[in-house]
Amino acid sequence: MSGIQPSAQEAERLDLFPHPSVRPGQRELLRDVREALGRGEHLVAYAPTGLGKTAAALAGGVEVALEREMLLLFLTSRRTQHRIALETLRKMREKAEFVAVDVVAKQAMCPRPEAAAPGFYEWCSLQMRKRRCRYYTTQDPGAEARLRGGVLSAEEVVEVGRERTVCPYRLAMDVGSEARVVVGDYNLLFSEMLDATLRRLGRSPEEMLAVVDEAHNLPDRIRENYSGSMGPGLVREAAIEAGGVLRRPLEEWARRLERENPRAERRVEPGELTGPLEDVLGGSLRPLPLEEFMGQLVERGEEVLEQVSISRVMRVAQFIQGWRETPKCVHILSPGPEWSYRLLDAAEFSGPLFRQLGGSVLMSGTLHPPGLYADLLGIPEERRRLREYTSPFPPENRLVLHVPGVTTRYTERGDAMDMRIAHRLERICRLVPGNVVVFFPSYDQMERAASHIARGSRPLLMERSGMADGEKGDILRGLEEAREHGGALFLGVMGGSFSEGVDYEDNLLRAVVVVGIPFAPPSVETESLIAHHEAQGGHGQDLGYTLPALRRVLQASGRLIRSETDRGAILLLDERYPRYRAWFPGDFRFATARDEEPLLRAFFQVPGGRQRVLA
């Protein structure tokens, strides 16, 4: 790895750094991680791809964890990042002795065949309480010793558990209680699992440090974790499952819910869902308070879970509880009908946790501007440290252009605009020697533009909604093959499977084209989100509407340059981009080009007469 050799003064502090040298920019991040965690602060960092975030955060984090005798949680939503973190920790263990554990979702680690069924967590909880799972009740010091002796992946932990008939999840968490590092998912801290995590690890938040990777995803993940939806169909299934005295009120409630089927979604008051149920319960021969009825649902749900791995009754009870008790949420009735509650403020749950945590690092290549993300998460101002780092890659290897003349603005959509977008893409492909990926705001817009693209010698690949892993692999293999024969055109969507979390290695892409700006369509949730943030202190439009869209643009654009030797162009196709120029990081400045052809020809050194035809 190329980079800067540590000075003699720093050599001792770089004791756990896993590589022989430090990259430009990585040195500053490593220093800030040490200082922030050492002082109990929260570092919120925009750190572009290639900076070496994982090595810097883990080295600095483990050093401080050892010094302060704390537990470091490295949290990520991607399995690939689990592997990178584990490889980094193995190298660090060559320099210092510490215990590190990898853990994923309990359902993913369970060796029992019932793990594949819906409702696993309710079923597993009952199995543990009744002590009916032989994996859970078995203790094996030898299995624990194997985890302490090396840095095992979650998959390897599962194999150890299967061999020794020990619950892999419990095994990992038991060893985690004495570990210095736990690698896991966001849900360990930022969900209803928090209390269970603290109990299993035997630590208070004050005794923990956290590193949150790809932290731009955290606000939405928290909001999703504390939201829910339900339709009358589930209530009817629960009525059949419950039987006895619970069946009639549930069936009558389902009938009343089915009468409310709007043509468009609308905001509702909480009582519009629970009021009909209370009416049913109050009109019976033996009137029953809602709280008592809820207790009977939970009791019946537990009885069902003793026999099978899923309980509709329990799911209904949990939904009613979330509907009634989740703070700062919007209640929505959608066609179907479907009833849902959506958390509007992630800080309602993350803010108190950040006030307690011993320190944290939140980092991402799209965590910009970092101050707004700190606000979204409720990180206390007196303990936050905001940083922006520059890309370590040669700036001359990336051309960033804004290309006007087209837009996906709703009022200007139509066949003529779709045709104009398609012709612009054809022109770009004639000038780019290699694979070109185009990201659209939606599948519908992608398909409309694709219908106008001329077919010819260049392969055309397209993302589809709900693609299986094998199909995604076929797309990547198709790009690999096309690279050897002039390149392909790949059409995808922002926020889809290929715009985040995929590493296009070895300069697999030569150009990324972002068509339009993926603003959320009008909805009750979006409007409520904007209004909520405006009421909380302003910036409602920014936090609820603009920031999520531009984050997706940055994520898609970040697929292009993945190493110091990659070289390519990013083209932003929409008239509106200049008005959002200030939102982009300092190392992502774009120039507007009314005619992109001479700039692309010069960048890719394409001869003036060279032509390409799409397929």
**Domains of the chain from N-terminus onward:** 8-98+180-224+347-388 (3.40.50.300), 228-325 (no CATH), 395-604 (3.40.50.300)
Confidence of residue 608 (pLDDT cuts 50, 70, 90): low
81, amino acid identity = Q
Q: In which residue are the tokens 């035997």 written?
A: 202
Confidence of residue 2 (pLDDT cuts 50, 70, 90): very low
Q: What is the arithmetic mean of pLDDT over 225-236?
A: 96
What's the token pair of residue 546? 């603009």
Relative orientation angle of helices 26-38 and 53-68, to the nearest 10 degrees: 30
Span 144-192, pLDDT tens digits: 999 999 999 999 999 999 999 999 999 999 999 999 999 999 999 999 9
Span 479-535, pLDDT tens digits: 999 998 889 999 999 988 899 878 888 999 999 999 999 999 899 999 999 999 999
Q: In the prediction, which pLDDT does 308 show?
A: 81
Span 17-75, pLDDT tens digits: 888 888 878 999 999 999 999 999 999 999 998 888 999 999 999 999 999 999 999 99
17-20-25-30 Cα dihedral, nearest 10 degrees? 10
Q: How far apart are CA 166 and CA 460, in angstroms?
A: 49
Neighbour order of strands in the sheet with 266-267: 228-230, 338-343, 329-334, 266-267
What's the token pair of residue 584? 């982009």
Q: Does residue 340 contact residue 332 with C-beta atoms inside 8 Å?
A: yes
Least confident of 277-291, 327-341, 569-583: 277-291
Judge whether residue 587 has pLDDT over 90: no
Least confident of 106-115, 170-179, 244-253, 603-612: 603-612
Percent pLDDT > 90 in the chain is 76
Q: Which residue has the higher pLDDT, 49 or 568?
A: 568
Q: In the prediction, which pLDDT does 612 show?
A: 38
175, amino acid identity = V
Judge whether residue 433 has pLDDT over 70: yes
The separation between the first and the last C-alpha atoms of the chain, rounded to the nearest angstrom, is 40
Least confident of 3-12, 266-275, 475-484: 3-12
Q: In the prediction, which pLDDT does 377 show?
A: 96
Confidence of residue 234 (pLDDT cuts 50, 70, 90): very high
- What is the DSSP secondary structure assignment for residue 206, as one 8-state letter? G
Q: In the prediction, which pLDDT does 5 show?
A: 44
Residue 568's nearest CA partner among 483, 495, 493, 502 is 483
Phi, psi of 134, rounded to the nearest 5 degrees: -70, -25
Judge whether residue 7 has pLDDT over 70: no
Q: What is the arithmetic mean of pLDDT over 76-85?
A: 88
400, amino acid identity = V
Confidence of residue 306 (pLDDT cuts 50, 70, 90): confident
